[in-house]
Each structure stands twice: as C-alpha cells, then as structure tokens.
A and B are shown apart, each in its own frame.
Chain A
Amino acid sequence: MITTQMTSMERVLKTLSHNEPDRVPFFLLCTMHGAKELGIGIKEYFSSAEHVIEGQLKLLKKFGSDCLYPFFYAPLEIEAFGGEVIFHDDGPPNSGEPCIKKAEDITKLFAPKLSDAKPLHRVLDTIKGLKENVRNDVPIIGVVMSPFSIPVMQLGFEKYLEIMHYRADLFDRLMQINEEFCVEWANAQLQAGATAICYFDPISSSTIIPRELYEKTGFEIARRTISRIKGATATHFASGKCLKIVDLVSQTGTAVVGVSSLEDIVQLKLSCKNKLTVLGNLNGIEMRRWTTEQTKKIVYDVIQKAANGGGFILSDNHGEIPFQVPDDVLHTISETVHSFGQYPIRQ
C-alpha cells in the first residue's frame, strides 16, 4: 500500500476547491458489498445499523475508498412514507407498487415525522457509528432522494409525468410535502455526522426531461431545497445525462455532479470547470465483467481525461456499485488510482 500524506477528507476537500490534492480521490459507492463482508443476506444486513457500520468499515479497509457510504437503498424513504420495499438476495431492495394509488390522494398526503420513521433511524445510527470510528478523516456521504425524483416511487412514473404536465395543483402540493421532508431528512443526517449529502435527482437528467421543463421544475426545486440543507451537497443523476443542464445545476448551490458513462467526460469536465466537481463515470453495469486489464485501462483513461486540475472524484456512474461486481475489479480500481492517480498526472 502506498502511503499518502493527505487524509481522505483533506484530499476530497482539496479537489472540491478545484485544486490538485496528492492523488485523485475515489469513491467506491458500495452498499450491498458489506453484506458479503459479513457473510449474511442483504435483507439481514440492512436490518441493523451495527451490520452496516461493520460492513462499511471493512470495505474501507479492504479497498481504501475515500468515503464511507451509509446509503441503505433507494426506497428507504418510501418505507417511511408507508410504502412497500421488496428485498432480493442478489440486488438492491426495490420499491413495490406505488404507495399513492390515485393522483387525488396527494391532497390527503402528509410527510412522515422523522421521529416516527423507524427505517430512517437505522441510517442515522449508522452515520453516528461511522463518525465515532473515523472522526474527520474520511467523508461520510449521506443520501436523500430529491423531492422532484421521489414521486416515481410514490406514484409510479406514468402518473407522475401526467401530473407534472397537466396537474400543477397536485404537483405543487406534492413538491411542498417532499421538499419539507427532504430538508429535514438531509439535515438529520448532517447532524448525525454526515459530511455531505448526495442529492439523487435522476428525473432532472436530460435523459428523462427536456432542459426547458427542468428549468421550470427540478431546477427550481433543487435551488430551494439545497439552499436549506445545512451542509455540502452532491447532485447525482444516477446514470442519467446532464451535459445540457450543468450550467443550471451549478446554480442550484450544489458542489458536485454525478455524471453518466454515456456522456463525454472531457466535455463534462470542461463545462463544470471551477464550478462543479465531477464525480464519475465508470459504467457499473459493465464493471461486473471487466477483466483486470480492462479495468486498469478504463480507470487510467478516465484519470487521464478528467483528473487534471482537481475538481474530480473517480466513481461509478450510478451511485451504487452492483452486487455482482467482484472484489477483484474493486481492488484493481483502487490499485490503478493509487498507481496512476498521483498528482501531477503524467500524460
């Protein structure tokens, strides 16, 4: 293992200031891999904060990532809203049928109180436990679903697009409820010890909605919400494209943008220069079957293209590495960053 002078926290803060740290920081955003480390199933793993704390610390030691990631699963907040979560043995828990059955039910919807939302307490306990272990040496990344994107799980995609286009009254009410919940949930994680919040907003991506609609909806919502979150945020489009809107994203107050492998990282880096740190953009789906040589080449290429000048964190492009990605690939990513990610980057 190569020794470095900076802690992960210092390294990340330096790159966020658009300067070059000692080496390229990398975030291995593993959620379910902790269950493998403990030799238990995914459902059992996420049933206890102790499991996730242990899993995250083991992963940190094993792969040397520059962050801890106490993210449980996407429908966790839906569970708090009373929705169904379906567990799988080999993948992330998924949301069940939408908890809002009819669009009109939005008029009767209320956000859950954090004090009553037991599933969320496990995350807060996890963050507290991790913080006790790493203090300020390693960033702890909390996660929220954006008020604009969570309705896909609350209502289903079709119903949501219809109210977005035709029912401004219901859309506005839903956003009001979701914004309040999102701000409270983000701030609770920061208070528990999270360093920053990853604001997952895939519906705002240009893959899903056009820029003009984003400008009127997801952008304004992000601006309002992020301004009330009492810490740094990273906006993640979960594999969705964002090149067409990065100028707007940088005006939402976020510091980082999670980018897709489907877009040119050189262009993205240029568009984000001195405004947003780029997080990405390894293809997590393909990563499952990368050979050692392929992994080295892909990581090397991304570093060559995007790392100069700082403002870059190497990561997968979805914000969650699939359960099927083998440890060998994760080790190779780590080794390649340590070997070829030392600043100044040799071209």
Chain B
Amino acid sequence: MSARRPFTACLAQTSPRLGDVAHNLEQHREAIERARSEEAQLIVFPELALTGYRLRDLTFEVALGRRSAVVDELAALSKGIDVLTGFVEESDDHRFYNVAAYFSAGRLLHVHRKVYLPTYGLFEEGRFFAEGTRFDAFETGFGRVGVLVCEDVWHLSAAYAYFLQDVDWLYVISSGPGRGLPEAGKEPSSGKAWNSVLVACASFFQVGVIFVNRVGWEDGVKFWGGSKYVDPSGEVRSEAGQVEAELVYAELDARDLRLSRIHTPLRRDERPSILAQLIARLTDEGSLL
C-alpha cells in the first residue's frame, strides 16, 4: 500500500450572516485565500455556512441549484484546495435540502443531503427541508470520505454506514446551538455531549473526525463553536474556542489510521451480516419502521 502523505485541513469556524449569501460567499473567499496561504489542502466550513441557520421562510429565498453561479464560483475556488461547505440546495423538482457539498479541482465532487432533520424544541428543519436518503462514501485525493451534517451524527447508524464503506475520514459540519451552562465543564451541556459523540465515532469506527461548528448568534441562540479534529484513537488534536470566528488547522495523517487498526482491528472483526440478517428478519415480521 502506498503511504499517503499527511495533509493539512483548515477548520473554518465562521459566523454566517442570516440570509445573506453574498456576504457569506465573501467570507468563504477570504477564508479559502488565508487557508491556501497557510498551505492547507482542505478547508471545511460549518453547516449552512453560506446562508445562516434559522432560515424558516428564507429557506426558499437563499436556495441554490447545482448549476447556479454561486456553486460555480465555489467550484472555481477549489483549485489547489478542496472545499467542503453547507447551503440550501433546491432540486429540479423544487425540494429544498440542507446539504454539504464537496468541491475539488474546480468541480463539484459530491453532495450529501442531510438525512436526519431535527424538528423538536428550537429546531424546525422538518418544516422546511426535504430529507436526504443516502450515506454515500466517496474518494478524494486524501482518502475515502464520509460526510455528515449535524444531527446525522447523533444517529450512530449514519457513521456506521460509512464504517461499512471503509472510509478514512469523517467530516461533520454543524450549526449546533449551546444549551445549558452547567457549573462543571468547560462548554455548554450540548457541547459536552457532542464531544463524547465525536470521540466515540472516532474510537468505534477508527476514522479521523473533523468537526466544524459555527459561532455567533441568531435571535438569542448561540452557536457554540468548539470545532475540532479527533484522531482515529479518539484524541482531540486541534480545537477552536467557543466564541470567536477563527481558522484552526489540523494535520491528518493516514499512518494514524493504520496504527489504530493494527492495535484494534475493529473493522476486520466486524460482522455486518449479523445486523443484515436481523434487519431482514425484522423487516419480514413487519416490525421495522
């Protein structure tokens, strides 16, 4: 196996302006330029980085088709640096998806449509967005990648789906609000839970996990940042703060994947067929929703 070289990823923890795609696109241009000057080979932006999060009726006003000028510009910006970012995609049949789009070498390489749309408490995504239906891994110049958007990662089956597809890296983009400020701990309760989930994903599936969460406020809701890289052994390697917009850099090294899988060969020993048989049986019995 040819040894892949380590690569540098820029975690672009931005604070998008709600409903202002032109402003947020300018944020993208500036961050990409800076990341490029720091010799990063990949830059990852938060969920809905081009639009802001609590869109409600703005969903229909900020949506982009795959052949729009903004998408073309993002593709053009991806020459010499891969770009992963989030926006609202309008399909040809006028469904609106919360997507993560991966651009590389001047073209749109992959789109993940968010599958799990939180619609409870302060979240209203199911009212405005259509659900994605797939978790498809794809090849990049730095290895095999799975992309998740925020709530997706809270359904363990989503990361497991990528585990079965032998991904090297899991990129999770998010607009996660801070909820609860317990006395103990260095982040909101929701942030603490997030960190456990990210470390668990890296550890269970022996992948490097990039998490990019936005900062800033929308109508009193604070997005808690805390973007980080968790290596395949579950160690947090790079971490951003919880308040400021900032660019944080992480070095991702495929040798870490090899070592973790020699130490504990979880994928080699995994028996997905047992789960497949269970799912088939429950489906036959009509008890699987």
> A and B from one assembly?
no
Binding site for B on A (CB under 8 A): none
Binding site for A on B (CB under 8 A): none
